[in-house]
Structure 1
Amino acid sequence: MDVRVESDRPARHRHAVVFCCDDNYLPYAAFAAAQIAQLAPERDFDIVICADTRLELPDALGLRHCVIDAGGMFDGFGLDARRTVSTYLRLAVPEALARDYDRILYLDSDVFVRGGDFDALLRVDLGGRPAAAVRDNQQWRTPGRHAADLKALGLPNGAYFNAGVMLIDVAAWRGGRVLERALEFGQNNAGRMRHKDQTLLNAVLQGEWAEIAPVWNWQYTRASRLFEAMLDTHVVHFIGPAKPWADPEHRLPPQFAAGLARFMARWFPDRSRPVPGRGPMGVPGAARALAWTHLRGAGRTEAYLGRFAGDLTVLP
């Protein structure tokens, strides 16, 4: 594939944690990247911000910045204001950075990093599979649910992953022609992919991915947020419309917006910063409703979590 890349600095390691974003999401990707850098000062992996254009990334953060020219390969994918080229750029990352990295951990920009041994995760055995990921939240409590977007495409039922955190084995990804298959599927089904990039990846990798523990992609929903406080979660992922920087109904605890605001005040002072609210405790009845929702789903959530002996467990 004709994928070109320019970088502001050479690779230092054979593994990398990678974010793909545009200028609008740059402060949020940089915040998560900086959290990982602080957690692993002696890391054996690079932290990379990828985009399809040059971004103004503060050099003092010590992050590698790569500009990937995908040659318009995603033009027919139904791009819009919410899903730009940067949304699909992760598909081209293994090809673009193949000379530099053997393993890549891709993360969405709307995450909050709490902990975890990223070096160890980047080295887990994937059994020859091109990627590993966490099941999508819709299958945590109902693992047999047929994902609506796969059903609409006429694809069989099966395990369905959230594409916001993906561990990629570069050689297996390229050897399995994942990019080429994704481009063909995307061009043929652009108007039928309900969740765009996530639908595409699940369709192409159905039955070919390994499952990792949800602590690496704790999808922060109405039915899961209280359980997050009871676990040693590593990556919190804001999958709904409420984000730390866009939470007008105060659905999220203020800690997330406060941490982002402090980071942006230092590194992106000219950007509009989030103002932490009171969160659910400031909305009458919200805390009681959350507690009831979690009580009803506790047993099934425990069963799901019980499938993983530890945070580095990999299920075929």
Structure 2
Amino acid sequence: MTDPIHIVLAFDDNFWAPAFTVMRSVCLTTHRRKDLVFHLLHMPVTDEHRHDIEGIVREFGASLRWYPLADSELFDFVVAGLPTGARWPRIVYARLLMADLLPAELTRVLYLDSDMLVRAPIEQLYGMDLGGKPLGAVQDSLQPFIMGRRDMRQNIGIFDTADSYFNSGMMLVDLVQWREINVKAEIAVIAAKGWIERLYYDQDMLNLVFRDRWQKLPWRWNTIDAHLAHEALDPAILHYTRETKPWGLFAGMLRSSAYSRWYRHVMTNELFYRFMRHRWRRWWLKKLRLAR
């Protein structure tokens, strides 16, 4: 009997289809499908979209665990006052609270952003040695710019651009050690210093909390800014951090994102076009509201 592989995602109803795609890509690239347990930290999801996501169980026999955050007092308390935006809804902060929201018996989890595509057996990543650290991640390819911002000196006093800095889209977490760190208290300290508005959302917070306490993992397990040239490098996980996403209307035609045609078929054609219509409706509703 093999141990389960615990994978965490966080999303709201506007990202149900990409979240499904991440999970389906994991399932398609491993023989250990029935060992997979997906822990879903989510804001309210419609019944139709939940049925779509539950297709992972019907097709592969993997397990889903749902964690609704809309009524979570802890989530509301921690997120209150943290900056959000159109590209960064409240749900992005859910990963800060993984240790509090997930069952106490879990000792290791893999967190994945919903704008990813997995191309290699996930157990290869899940079993990696963390070198005694609470967290393993990939160094961000835009490290000095993200840390320093404008002219790479805007955030001097918060970060040193010579330090290591990880991308939080993929994190392999030792929850036993994570729980020994009072993340909520550390965020409160950051807020008390008046830094919150200067930070790059939760990624900066995580880098401050885990400074010098994370293990650098191979880049191919979080191939940031995934574009066409990356197809030649055999990436294990593609991370679509660019504004152009593989689910865009002309993504397959323009091939601006790596494996964009592959991505569409992992999402499935039916869901891909339904998600595209969903996004168009949201775009037009936003335009109409602005026009009033």
Q: Report the CA distance between 1:123 and its aligned residue.
A: 2.4
Alpha-carbon distance in 2 for matches of 1:269, 1:90: 29
Q: TM-score, normalised by structure 1?
A: 0.70
What is the number of equivalent residue pairs in this alignment? 254
Candidates 192, 200, 207, aligned match of 2:205: 200
Is the contact between residue 112 and residue 256 of structure 1 (CA under 8 Å) also seen in structure 2? no
Structure 1 counterpart of 2:11, one-letter code: C
1:167 partnered with 2:162 = no
Q: Return the letter of the residue paired with 1:50.
A: L
**Where do residues 110-121 of structure 1 align in structure 2 (5 Å cutoff)?**
110-115=115-120, 117-121=121-125
Q: Distance in 2 between matches of 1:239 and 1:146?
A: 13
Number of the residue aligned with 2:232 = 230
SS of aligned partner of 2:39: strand
User: Partner residue of 1:104?
Assistant: 109
What is the deviation of 1:100? 4.4
Q: In the alignment, which residue of structure 1 is the partner of 2:186? A: 181
Q: Give runs of aligned pairs for residues 55-204 of structure 1, distance below 5 A.
A: 55=46, 56-58=49-51, 59-62=54-57, 63-64=63-64, 65-68=66-69, 69=72, 70-115=75-120, 117-139=121-143, 147-149=147-149, 152-154=155-157, 155-156=159-160, 157-186=162-191, 188-193=194-199, 195-204=200-209
Separation in 2, partners of 1:203, 1:251? 36
| CA-CA distance at 1:90 after TM superposition | 0.7
Task: Say if 1:16 and 1:46, in contact at 8 Å, map to a contact too.
Answer: yes
**C-alpha separation in 2, matches of 1:34 and 1:110:** 13
Contact kept? 2:248, 2:276, Cα under 8 Å = no
1:164-214 Cα shifts (integer Å, max 9, x gaps): 111111011111223431344256422111x21211111221111110001
Aligned to 2:60: none
Residue of 271, 274, 284 corresponding to 2:275: 271
Cα distance between partner residues in 2 of 1:254 and 1:53: 30
Tell me the CA shift for residue 272 of structure 1: 2.2
Contact 2:168/2:203 (CA < 8 Å) preserved in 1?
yes
Paired position in structure 1 for 2:15: 25
Change (3 A) 1:243 1:271: closer
- Root-mean-square deviation (CA), in Å? 2.9
Matches within 5 A, 1:279-294: none
Q: What is the letter of the counterpart of residue 241 of structure 1?
A: E
Identify the residue that residue 291 of structure 1 maps to in structure 2. none
Q: Which residue identity does 2:116 align to in structure 1? A: V
Q: CA deviation digits over 1:264-288, x for unaligned, max 9?
A: 54457643269xxxxxxxxxxxxxx
More helix by share: 2
Q: Which residue of 1 aligns with 2:288?
A: none
Residues 197 and 247 of structure 1, relative CA distance in 2, 3 Å threshold? farther
- Distance change (3 Å), C-alpha of 1:137 and 1:254: closer
Contact 2:115 2:240 in 1 (8 A): yes
Identity of matched residues, %:
24
Q: Secondary structure at the match of 1:72?
A: helix
Amino acid in structure 2 at the alignment position of 1:147 = M
Q: Could you tell me how far 1:247 is from its partner in structure 2?
A: 6.7
How far apart, CA to CA, are the structure 1 residues paired with 2:14 and 2:218? 30
Normalising by structure 2, we get a TM-score of: 0.76
Is the 8 Å Cα contact of residues 107 and 176 (structure 2) preserved in structure 1? yes
Instruction: Give the counterpart of 1:216 among 221, 224, 243.
Output: 221
Distance verdict in 2 for CA 1:38–1:216, change over 3 Å: same
| CA displacement at 1:255 relative to structure 2 | 4.1
Mapped partners of 1:80, 1:146: distance in 2:
17
Give, as a single letter, the amino acid of the residue that structure 1 aligns with 2:50: L
- Show structure 2 runs of 5+ residues with no match: 58-62, 279-292
